[in-house]
């Protein structure tokens, strides 16, 4: 029995490693093929994606068809929008990571400023003193160097977040926290998942939604913030088609 469990674990790890490797491919077809599979690995995938946040590689995507993203070469007037600069491997990892965790780690933003760099540096100043890994002379950096430095600091912040939360983290808990958060980007990730996504979220049932999530959704609807319309559309789905799509996909 122990042998079978070991083989099964090793096989699962090998599959995850293969997915992560494909995430770094230049062909968007390969990336698209594994994007949801990685999210479905949930907690298991998080530390691997966090490690990739330190990767400074730029891998220009090809065969993107009508994908709309910051590095797109052509705009067809329609298509699937991804608001992450996913020509960078670190941002590709963050794209999957933020979808799993419903967190806003800062990778969704298109531009950075010196104030943002200084703020992140101050947040992590003790660790920088110990490692000496970052330079704060941002004024003398090129835009590309600033961008890389900024993302390296974001990666440090994400690592600290995971160190603090990994023992108690579940995706359902993360979903609930996102809906309760004042951060509209986190709310947006939550609604995108609830209304359209088919990836796994253990603990999400009709009963748990009604008892724990629906009051939060109603509060967002009443707030009339940027996500209020999404909240209304979710609440208007009296037949729970959004949930049926998920349960049908999982076979449960």
Express each pLDDT in 110-154 by its tens digit.
Answer: 444 445 445 544 555 455 445 545 445 556 778 788 888 889 989
Model confidence over 194-207: pLDDT tens digits?
999 999 999 999 99
Instruction: Give the pLDDT score at 178.
Output: 98
CA-nearest of 74, 72, 66, 70 to 95 is 70
Hey, how many other C-beta atoms are within 10 angstroms of the C-beta on 220?
Answer: 24
Q: Summarize the confidence of residues 31-56 as an average pLDDT.
A: 97
200, 171 contact by CB (below 8 A)? yes
Q: What percent of the chain has pLDDT over 90?
A: 67
Question: In this predicted structure, what is the pLDDT of residue 53?
Answer: 97
Average pLDDT over residues 64-76: 81
As a whole number, mean pLDDT of residues 167-193 equals: 98
Residue 109 has pLDDT above 70, yes or no: no
Q: Can you give the pLDDT at residue 129? A: 44
Do residues 154 and 105 touch, judged by C-beta distance below 8 A? yes
Cα–Cα separations (whole angstroms), residue 121 to 105, 125, 138, 139: 15, 6, 11, 14
Residue 41 sits at the vertex; the CA angle it makes with 35 and 46, to the nearest 5 degrees, is: 90
Q: What is the mean pLDDT of residues 213-219?
A: 98
Q: Rank 5-9, 36-40, 78-82, 148-152 by mean pLDDT and report only the highest.
A: 36-40
- Give 14's pLDDT tier (boundaries 50, 70, 90): confident
Sequence-separated (6 or more) residues with CB below 8 Å from residue 49: 20, 38, 93, 94, 96, 97, 100
Tokens representing 191 are: 């609604």
How would residue 60 be classed by pLDDT, with cut points 50, 70 and 90? very high
pLDDT of residue 86: 95
Question: According to the model, what pLDDT value does residue 128 have?
Answer: 46
Query: What confidence score (pLDDT) does residue 6 get?
Result: 43
pLDDT at 77: 63
> What does the mean pLDDT of the chain come to?
85
Residue for token pair 């943002």: 116
Contact 179, 217 (CB under 8 A): yes
Q: What is the pLDDT of residues 234-243, one digit of tens each?
A: 999 999 999 9
User: Which positions ≥6 away from 50 have C-beta within 8 Å?
Assistant: 93, 97, 155, 158, 159, 162
Q: What is the pLDDT of residue 48?
A: 97
């Amino acid at each position: 029995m122990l042998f079978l469990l070991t083989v099964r674990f090793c096989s699962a790890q090998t599959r995850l490693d293969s997915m992560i490797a494909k995430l770094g491919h230049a062909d968007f077809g390969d990336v698209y093929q594994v994007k949801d599979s990685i999210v479905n690995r949930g907690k298991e995938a998080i530390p691997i994606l966090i490690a990739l946040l330190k990767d400074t590689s730029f891998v220009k995507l090809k065969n993107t068809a009508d994908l709309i993203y910051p590095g797109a070469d052509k705009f067809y007037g329609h298509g699937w929008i991804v608001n992450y600069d996913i020509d960078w491997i670190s941002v590709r990892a963050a794209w999957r990571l933020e979808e799993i965790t419903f967190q806003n780690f800062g990778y969704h933003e298109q531009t950075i400023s010196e104030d943002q760099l200084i703020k992140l540096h101050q947040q992590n100043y003790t660790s920088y003193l110990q490692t000496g890994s970052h330079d704060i002379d941002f004024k003398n950096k090129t835009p590309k160097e600033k961008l890389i430095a900024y993302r390296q600091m974001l990666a440090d912040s994400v690592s600290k977040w995971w160190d603090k939360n990994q023992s108690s983290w579940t995706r359902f808990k993360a979903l609930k926290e996102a809906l309760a958060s004042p951060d509209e980007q986190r709310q947006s990730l939550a609604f995108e998942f609830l209304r359209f996504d088919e990836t796994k979220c253990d603990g999400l049932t009709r009963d748990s939604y009604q008892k724990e999530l629906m009051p939060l959704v109603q509060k967002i609807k009443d707030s009339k913030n940027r996500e209020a319309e999404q909240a209304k559309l979710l609440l208007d789905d009296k037949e729970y088609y959004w949930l049926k799509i998920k349960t049908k996909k999982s076979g449960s």
